[in-house]
């Protein structure tokens, strides 16, 4: 495979837009002094207590059909309609196992008990007195992108396939500080984090990592958590599987080993070809997806476009994103204008002049630990046909001469 460096954006634009018909803009048809917008002719609306998107915009989460039980299922972030790396709180993906509980922060309590010297109970007012930290991190469901593990490529948007991932600024209290205050006993090696939802969702986490990385998140993007994101508090384990980011957190029990709860045995295990299964698959693998152009979109004919997408890894920073315009035969380094943060979404871009002929676009990311995003065939090698958790195979978008963009397996 040959590899190329990304062309300079300014140099590319200067060359591409010099060609007849290449520019997206149209010549000005009136004098600048006569260029009056309708909005300039009358006063605008007054103030509102909480800002909302423009009524001219219609970007919404993508709702999945409900599950077999009330409140089960999820909604996906519309990745193809977003820019930058931060997901608006109202568009952050959702995954619930028994609906969204309505929890009064005045009566909510958080407990640390089990193998500790001093069991502790905290009110929300108690937690607000502790020093806080802010971190930008993605959260990704373990089942994200799993639709591409199926036998036929789903004809959905980028968000419809990969939208169970979002990125926010999270603010809260370091879990390690509270564990140290409780005093973990020598035989304590794990914790069990339990939700206050009707499903009592619970997950086991190794104590060492929980103490070093865990955050009790109280705020998202500068405001209190939304109810669907765990209000009034959730556990955040940066870069780990979304199911471990326990929402509506109400207790942590220190234990000597994993609890083998229902949410880590009957679900979120990787089935292998030999009939065995991998459990406790904590860290989300390196991944990327081109979000523009992407599935279900229609191209506007030949000309200049910017290929743009997102890359992320639970192992740390993204160090490289490559884009292929020929189904993986050759690769070109994309730009990552920044910011490039550890365990956060990273935006990549590549200027592109499309000649109108059929093409297959792919992206491939590499993280600072040296992990490289695999092909779909490579990812499937060790797993049974039923396995779809932590799918990170390369996404292929086929652009046809008819301007359509389709999901294919290449």
Locate 83 and state its tokens.
Answer: 């820019």
Beta carbons within 8 Å of 40's beta carbon, 6+ residues apart: none
* Of the residues 278, 297, 319, the one at which a domain ends: 278
Model confidence pLDDT, tens digit, residues 38-86: 899 999 999 999 999 999 999 999 998 776 677 888 999 999 999 999 9
Model confidence pLDDT, tens digit, residues 337-364: 999 999 999 999 999 999 999 999 999 9
Question: Of 281, 264, 279, 284, which is closest to residue 203 (Cα–Cα)?
Answer: 264
Cα three-residue angle 365-76-243, rounded to 5 degrees: 75
Please state, in angstroms and rounded to a whole number, the distance separating the CA atoms of residues 238 and 135.
9
* Of the residues 224, 255, 278, the one at which a domain ends: 278
318 and 271 in one domain? Answer: no
Question: Quick check: 348 and 311 in contact, CB under 8 A?
Answer: yes
* Of the residues 251, 278, 305, the one at which a domain ends: 278
What order of strands is seen across the sheet that includes strand 287-292?
Answer: 287-292, 303-312, 346-354
323 and 211 in one domain? Answer: no
The CATH number of whichever domain residue 341 belongs to comes to 2.60.40.650
pTM to 2 decimal places: 0.94
Q: What is the residue-averaged pLDDT of the chain?
A: 93
Could you tell me the residue range of the domain that residue 372 belongs to?
287-408
196 and 171 in one domain? Answer: yes
235 and 107 in one domain? Answer: yes
pLDDT confidence band for 234 (50 / 70 / 90): very high
Question: Of 220, 214, 211, 345, which is closest to residue 287 (Cα–Cα)?
Answer: 345
State the total domains in the chain: 2
Q: Does some domain include residue 26? A: no
Please state, in angstroms and rounded to a whole number, the distance separating the CA atoms of residues 164 and 242.
9
CA–chain centroid gap for 323, Å, is 20
The CATH number of whichever domain residue 123 belongs to comes to 3.90.420.10
Please state, in angstroms and rounded to a whole number, the distance separating the CA atoms of residues 235 and 110.
11
Question: Quick check: 230 and 248 in contact, CB under 8 A?
Answer: yes
235 and 171 in one domain? Answer: yes
Cα three-residue angle 167-171-172, rounded to 5 degrees: 130
Model confidence pLDDT, tens digit, residues 167-199: 999 999 999 999 999 999 999 999 999 999 999
Question: Quick check: 235 and 192 in contact, CB under 8 A?
Answer: no
217 and 161 in one domain? Answer: yes
């Amino acid at each position: 495979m040959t590899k190329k460096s990304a062309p300079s954006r300014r140099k590319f634009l200067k060359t591409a837009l010099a060609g007849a018909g290449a520019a997206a803009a149209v010549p000005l048809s009136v004098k600048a002094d006569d260029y009056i917008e309708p909005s300039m002719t009358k006063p605008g609306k007054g103030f509102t207590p909480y800002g909302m998107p423009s009524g001219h915009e219609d970007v919404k989460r993508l709702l999945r059909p409900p599950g077999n039980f009330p409140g089960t299922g999820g909604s996906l972030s519309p990745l193809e309609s977003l820019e930058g790396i931060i997901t608006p709180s109202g568009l952050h993906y959702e995954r619930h196992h028994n609906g969204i509980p309505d929890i009064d922060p005045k009566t909510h309590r958080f407990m640390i008990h089990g193998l500790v010297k001093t069991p502790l109970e905290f009110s929300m007012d108690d937690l607000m007195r502790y020093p806080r930290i802010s971190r930008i991190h993605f959260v990704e469901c373990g089942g994200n992108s799993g639709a591409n593990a199926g036998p036929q490529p789903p004809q959905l948007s980028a968000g419809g396939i990969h939208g169970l991932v979002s990125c926010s600024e999270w603010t809260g209290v370091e879990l390690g500080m509270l564990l140290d205050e409780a005093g973990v006993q020598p035989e304590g090696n794990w914790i069990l984090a339990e939700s206050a939802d009707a499903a009592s969702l619970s997950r086991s986490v190794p104590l060492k990592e929980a103490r070093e990385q865990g955050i009790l998140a109280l705020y998202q993007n500068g405001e209190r958590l939304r109810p669907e994101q765990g209000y009034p508090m959730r556990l955040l384990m940066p870069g780990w599987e979304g199911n471990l980011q326990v929402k509506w957190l109400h207790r942590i029990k220190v234990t000597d080993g994993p609890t083998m709860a229902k949410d880590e045995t009957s679900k979120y295990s990787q089935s292998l070809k030999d009939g065995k299964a991998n459990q406790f698959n904590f860290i989300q693998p390196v991944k990327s997806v081109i979000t523009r152009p992407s599935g279900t979109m229609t191209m506007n004919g030949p000309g200049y476009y910017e290929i743009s997408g997102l890359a992320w890894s639970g192992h740390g920073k993204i160090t490289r994103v490559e884009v292929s315009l020929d189904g993986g035969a050759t690769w070109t380094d994309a730009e990552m204008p920044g910011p490039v943060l550890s365990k956060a979404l990273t935006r990549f871009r590549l200027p592109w002049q499309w000649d109108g002929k059929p093409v297959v676009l792919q992206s491939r990311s590499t993280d600072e630990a040296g992990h490289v995003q695999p092909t779909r065939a490579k990812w499937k090698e060790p797993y049974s046909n039923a396995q779809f958790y932590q799918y990170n195979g390369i996404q292929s978008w086929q652009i046809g001469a008819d301007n359509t963009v389709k999901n294919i397996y290449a």
